Structure formats: C-alpha cells, structure tokens
C-alpha cells in the first residue's frame, strides 16, 4: 500500500508540471465500478471466501476543488468468512452480499490535472444473506485519470477496517468510469473584468476586497460588521464574554450565579447561599429549627432530634414511667395502676413508629446470681407482655434481664436495694 501511495505522489508532481490550474468543483456524476474483495488474511480455511469479484455504481459530487463526496453501492455473491469465534452459522452455498458506503476523496491536485492522486476515507455497511450486518471503515488511496467530456477513470485500493464485531477486515481493489449528469458547456461565457471599482455598501471597502459587499462594515474586518460570535446582540469588541451568550445588561455575559447553585441571581431569593431550584435558590427549609431539614424531618413543625428523624425525644418520658416500676424482694408482679403508666409510652410509640423500646429487668444483690438472673428476666417480661397486649408489635421491643449488674444505688442499704429492684425503659431510635 505504501508503494502505491508513493507512486501516486510521483505522478501528481509530474502532472502538475504540464497542466495549468484553472480549478473548478467536479459536477455531479455517476460511475460504473468493477472490483474485488480480498480476505486472504483470514485464518479460516473451511472453504469460505478469500477473494470475490464485485460490481456496482457510484454517485460522485464535488464539494470543494480538492474534496469529492462518493456514495458507493456494490453487489457480490460469496461466503462471508466470519471469524471462527463468532456464533454465526456459516453459509454452505454462495450467498448475496450488498454493501453501501460513503466516502470523501481528498485530492492532492485539482481536476484540471490529467492525473490526480487522492486519499479516501469513509464509513460503510455490508449485508450478508439479507440478515447479517457488517459495518466497516474504508481507508486507502487512488488515482483519478481525466477522460473526455468531463469523464474520469478511478483506480483505487482501500483497506476496510472493522467497525462492528461481525466484520472481517479486508482489502478492496476497484476501477471505475464516471459520466457527468450534465454535459459540459463547450462555449463558456467569459465576462470582462469590471473596469470600475465599486463599493456597493459605501463602507469604504471596495467590493472586490469586501467580504460582506452588501452590508456596511469596517476595514478591520474586511468590510464586514464587527462580529458577534455568541449571537447575543453584543459585538465582540464590547462583549466581556464573547464566546458565551449573555445580555446587554451584563456586557454580553450571562446573568451571574454568585452562589453557584444553578439559579441565576435575578431569580435567586438567596443569591449568596447555595440552594435548590425548587426553593427559588434557597436551601431546604427547617421550619421547626431543630437542625433537621423539612425534607428529612418526619415532624417538620415540632422540634425534635436528628436521631429520631426530627421528631421529639421520648426518653425523659420513659424515665418518668419507669420510675414506677419498683419490685418487692423476690417478686415480679406490678400493681395495675403502675402498669397503666405504660399507656403514655404506648401513645408515643404509636406516634413515632420508627422508635423501638428496650426493656431491662434489674435486681438487688441478695440471692444467688442464677436466681437473680431469672428474676430480672421475669421482671422485664411483665412490662413486655403488657405492651404487646396493648398492640405494640413485639418486633419493636427488646427484653432482657441483667440481674444486679447495673445498680443505680448502693446495695448496702434497704433503701438502695429497693431502688435497684426495677425495670428500665430505653428508647431505640
């Protein structure tokens, strides 16, 4: 491939010596194309195609003096040599294959030269058995040879790179002959140059040098007005943000957003504090001023604590209720009027369903360790049973006995031991 490209360059320089450059853009043309696919680098030798002839048609249109657009349709019949790692059923007979690709040819010389080397690149897709699609990217080089009456001969070689996973990279070689869709004018009309220098827009730049001959401009911009790159109505010489659309009020810059929260200062009710659009640029409010914002606060109008999602702290109430749960020596029963104190706790637990409750039974230090352990567990069970009976889900409750391991008073006095024979209530947020 490199040798072919070097040959094209050599021919281009030799052709440039004998041809005059009166460059034009190539008119729309159609071409008949004959070619060959080359899959010789495939490792599959199970009878699949390694090379195959093809034929097709091309539409050719010049875009600039050195760039042509090519649309190419090719037809062929063969067994496409998919990679053996792909789970595509191999064709057992020769099948139709259709390809369509679009390319740009960059010519090293203009069309007025008899021989023009060019490089080409594009994108295409092949359809195998009208079922499997193989996308590829053709890249290569060719020679354009001038024929008569606006016709050309194209000799081209490309490497078709893999773009889709089904594609098998391969080379393509072709020769084409083109005919213009419109006949070449044999007697072009040549107008004599205008003898008088004209300045149609009266901006001081004559039309032959004026890039905007119908719009008054300035010499600095070759007769065009001062540009407005961002199209915001403020020209670049006055625009402090020439590449970003803004407003005249802010000298061509966008409305500022001082706190960088995405809400501009003219719409932001809190322009110096970052906030959210749904709160007009202000932070999420905290109505009850408890440090938990309203979107996370389950009790937004009642001050609470973060551990309880903004709702009230019920531990002081639980401590007050538990103060009634004192037991006689060796006993587990509580008077009904004392247990009834739990009804206040039940109201709070129903109000805050996210709160759990730990029930801890305690004893004094009289008696054996094993006896006191069982006794403390039974004392916790009394409170547990009452709460469950009143409708509190047992899954929200934890009951345990700790015997005499957690005294709140001395066990050396009668009064102290009476304080230690108790059941505690602890909120679990």
CA atoms within 13 A on the CB side of 12: 19
Q: How do the residues of the chain divide into helix, strand and coil, expressed in percent and rounded to 5? A: 20, 30, 55
Q: Say if 296 falls within a structural domain.
A: no
Query: Into how many domains does the chain fold?
Result: 4
**What are 100-111's pLDDT values in tens digits?**
999 999 999 999
Are the C-beta atoms of residues 36 and 173 closer than 8 Å to each other?
yes
Chosen domain end from 242, 263, 283: 283
In this prediction, residue 19 carries a pLDDT of 42
- DSSP characters over 50-97: SEEEEEEEEEEEESSSSEEEEEEEEEEEE-----TTS--PPPSS-EEE
Q: Say if 379 falls within a structural domain.
A: yes
CA gap 180, 21 in Å, rounded: 20
- Mean pLDDT, all residues of the chain: 87
Q: Say if 17 falls within a structural domain.
A: yes
Q: What are the distances in angstroms from CA 269 to CA 249, 272, 313, 322?
A: 20, 9, 34, 49
Tell me whether strands 29-38 and 51-62 are parallel, antiparallel or unpaired: antiparallel
Question: Can you give the CATH number for the domain in which 155 is found?
Answer: 2.40.160.20
Asked if residue 155 and residue 82 are part of one domain, the reply reads yes
Asked if residue 156 and residue 247 are part of one domain, the reply reads no
Asked if residue 423 and residue 352 are part of one domain, the reply reads yes
Residue 186 pLDDT level (bands cut at 50, 70, 90): low
Asked if residue 201 and residue 167 are part of one domain, the reply reads no
What pTM did the predictor assign? 0.41
Report the DSSP beta bridge partners of residue 134.
Answer: 126
pLDDT at 424 over 90: yes
Asked if residue 326 and residue 263 are part of one domain, the reply reads no
Asked if residue 91 and residue 236 are part of one domain, the reply reads no
Q: Say if 169 falls within a structural domain.
A: yes
Asked if residue 149 and residue 87 are part of one domain, the reply reads yes
Asked if residue 398 and residue 386 are part of one domain, the reply reads yes
Residue 203 pLDDT level (bands cut at 50, 70, 90): confident
Asked if residue 279 and residue 155 are part of one domain, the reply reads no
**What are 11-61's pLDDT values in tens digits?**
444 444 444 445 789 999 999 999 999 987 655 445 556 788 999 999 999
Asked if residue 389 and residue 254 are part of one domain, the reply reads no
Q: Say if 295 falls within a structural domain.
A: no
In this prediction, residue 204 carries a pLDDT of 86
Contacts of 243 (CB under 8 A, 6+ apart): 229, 230
**What are 271-310's pLDDT values in tens digits?**
988 989 988 899 999 898 888 998 888 788 888 888 788 8
Asked if residue 215 and residue 249 are part of one domain, the reply reads no
Q: Say if 190 falls within a structural domain.
A: no
In this prediction, residue 49 carries a pLDDT of 64
Residue 195 pLDDT level (bands cut at 50, 70, 90): low
% the chain with pLDDT above 70: 90
**Residue 81 belongs to domain spanning:** 2-180
**Any idea which of 82-86, 291-295, 424-428 has the lowest mean pLDDT?**
82-86
Q: Say if 364 falls within a structural domain.
A: yes
Q: Say if 293 falls within a structural domain.
A: no
**What are 363-389's pLDDT values in tens digits?**
999 999 999 999 999 999 999 999 999
Asked if residue 154 and residue 17 are part of one domain, the reply reads yes
Residue 152 pLDDT level (bands cut at 50, 70, 90): very high
Chosen domain end from 283, 304, 323: 283
Region 218-236: mean pLDDT is 90
In this prediction, residue 185 carries a pLDDT of 56
């Amino acid at each position: 491939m490199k040798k072919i490209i070097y040959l094209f360059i050599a021919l281009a320089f030799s052709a440039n010596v004998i041809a005059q450059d009166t460059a034009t853009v190539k008119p729309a043309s159609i071409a008949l194309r004959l070619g060959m696919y080359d899959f010789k680098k495939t490792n599959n030798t199970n009878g699949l195609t390694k090379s195959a002839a093809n034929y097709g048609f091309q539409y050719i249109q010049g875009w600039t003096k050195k760039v042509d657009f090519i649309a190419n349709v090719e037809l062929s019949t063969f067994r496409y040599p998919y990679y053996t790692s792909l789970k595509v059923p191999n064709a057992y007979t020769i099948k139709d294959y259709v390809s369509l690709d679009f390319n740009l040819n960059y010519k090293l010389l203009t069309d007025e030269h008899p021989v023009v080397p060019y490089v080409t690149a594009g994108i295409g897709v092949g359809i195998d058995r009208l079922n499997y699609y193989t996308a590829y990217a053709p890249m290569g080089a060719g020679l354009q040879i001038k024929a008569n009456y606006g016709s050309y001969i194209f000799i081209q070689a490309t490497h078709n790179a893999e773009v889709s996973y089904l594609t098998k990279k391969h080379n393509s070689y072709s020769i084409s002959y083109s005919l213009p869709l419109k006949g070449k004018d044999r007697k072009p009309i040549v107008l004599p140059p205008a003898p008088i220098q004209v300045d149609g827009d009266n901006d001081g730049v004559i039309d032959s040098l004026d890039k905007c001959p119908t719009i008054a401009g300035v010499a600095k911009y070759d007769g065009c007005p001062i540009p407005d790159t961002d199209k915001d109505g403020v020209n670049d010489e006055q625009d402090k943000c020439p590449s970003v659309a803004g407003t005249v009020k802010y000298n061509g810059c966008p409305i500022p957003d001082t706190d960088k929260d995405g809400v501009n200062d003219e719409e932001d009710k809190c322009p110096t504090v970052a906030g959210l659009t749904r709160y007009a640029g202000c932070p999420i409010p905290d109505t009850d001023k408890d440090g938990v914002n309203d979107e996370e606060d389950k009790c937004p109008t009642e001050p609470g604590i973060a551990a309880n999602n903004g709702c009230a702290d019920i531990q002081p109430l639980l401590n007050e209720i538990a103060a009634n749960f004192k037991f006689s020596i060796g006993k587990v029963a509580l008077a009904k009027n004392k247990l009834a104190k739990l009804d206040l706790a039940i109201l709070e637990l129903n109000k805050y369903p996210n709160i759990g409750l730990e029930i801890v039974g305690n004893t004094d230090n009289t008696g054996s360790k094993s006896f006191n352990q069982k006794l403390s567990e039974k004392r916790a069970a009394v409170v547990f049973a009452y709460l469950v009976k009143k409708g509190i889900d047992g899954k929200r409750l934890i009951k345990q006995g700790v015997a005499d391991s957690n005294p709140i008073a001395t066990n050396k006095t009668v009064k102290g031991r009476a304080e230690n024979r108790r059941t505690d209530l602890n909120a679990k947020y």
